[in-house]
Amino acid sequence: MLRSDFENHPLWELLRESGRLVSEILDEGDPSDVASLEVVSIIQAHLWSFHKQRARNSTMFTARMLIDTQAAWQGVVDHLTSRSAINPDAGAEVAAAAASAELALLTLAPWPRLFAAPAEAEREQTIFEDLLEAQRLSIASLGISHGHLREEIDEFIEETTRVKDEAIAELSSTTARAVTLEGQLVNQAARVDSAVDRAEATTSELRKKDDDAWEAWVAEARVKFDERFDPLLNEIGSKLTIAQERLTELEKTEGEFKALASASAADKLAGHYKKEADSGRSYGIRLYIGGVAALLLGAIPLVLSAFGIPHEISSSEWQEVAIRLSIGALFVTAATVAIKLGADFFREATKAKRMELEMRTIGPFLSTVADRTEVDRVQLAIVESVFGQGYSIQNVDAKDETVNVTAVGSLLDSLTKLFKTTSGS
């Protein structure tokens, strides 16, 4: 590699940049960064020793050697640059820069070594001078840090002294004010006690005056109330007496009205029963008349047949006789049914008439009874006796219905036997 290429390689510019950054960081005076920065400075001085021997060993280097070391040292510069910027994790960046510098040592393995005594001595001298320079910078940085720390301590002592003096002065002032305030409080307590005593006396006097005034007002109000409301009470009592009398009259009128209503209802029901009795009696008489008429009409052919039959009767004449007897028997049966229905109508009409008389008799009597419970019980008994048997089966003597029919049947049987005997002869 040519000497000019060796001298102008970007690696040496990175070394200058890292040196500048190390100086700036040391000037800040942070003791925590000194150890890591010394590692970076020693390795940097070792690299610069090769640059100072460039006249004799530049031809022993290749571009690849310098490029590898440049790539490794670029990390050192990046971490130091990040440390110089506003970074809350500054200590970690310096430690990372030292670690990157140690990694750069691994790239120096293929670099040539100078074995000549003068050259080696010169190289060691260069390294020693660089180390001395780095040590000087570290000492200067520590001096700066110590100066800053001393200034801060002096400022802190001065501020503490000032604050102590102010606190003592404030305490003295506060003590004086407290003494003054204590006297004022004692005076105020005495005044408050006196005011409380006067207030209690005044309150007792006002309470007594208020109680006397209240009792007087109550007595006066009671007298006025009695004077104002006694006439009203008397008037209310008289009106109440009149109202009670009117109520008694209304109750009496109500009883009379109920009695009239009960009598009217009984009379109305009696009228319905009278109408039912009259219509039943009318139907019964008509049926009786119809039954008698049918009986007479049935007897005419029987009488004619009985008195008009000759001694010798032919078969054709016997048929005519049988027809006449049959017609008579039918009229007799119709008369029997009509008379039976007439009897039923007469019986129902008699019951309706009896209920009419009972309602006309009991209705006015019940309207005068004061005990409404007994009246209700009697009315329920009447309703049960009347309507409780409205759908019951009535006992009927079957003999009245079977005698006539049996007689008609016997008559027909006799006529049939007579007809058969005559026909056979």
**Main-chain dihedrals φ then ψ at residue 317, nearest 5 degrees:** -70, -35
Number of helical H runs and strand E runs in the chain: 10, 0
**Main-chain dihedrals φ then ψ at residue 112, nearest 5 degrees:** -75, 155
pLDDT given at position 138: 67
Whole-angstrom CA distances from 304 to 297, 298, 300, 332, 411 are 11, 11, 6, 15, 16
Q: What is the pLDDT of residues 327-340, one digit of tens each?
A: 777 877 887 888 88
Whole-angstrom CA distances from 143 to 8, 27, 152, 356, 394 are 36, 10, 14, 148, 148
Q: What is the pLDDT of residues 235-254, one digit of tens each?
A: 888 888 888 888 888 877 77
All structural domains of the chain with their residue ranges: 3-164, 254-389+397-424
Residues of the chain with pLDDT under 50: 117, 311, 390-394, 396-408, 410-412, 414-415, 417-419, 421-425
- Return d(Cα 371, Cα 345) in angstroms, integer: 38
Residue type at position 280: G
pLDDT given at position 392: 43
Maximum pairwise Cα distance, the chain: 208
pLDDT given at position 81: 86
pLDDT given at position 363: 64
For residue 107, the SS3 value is coil
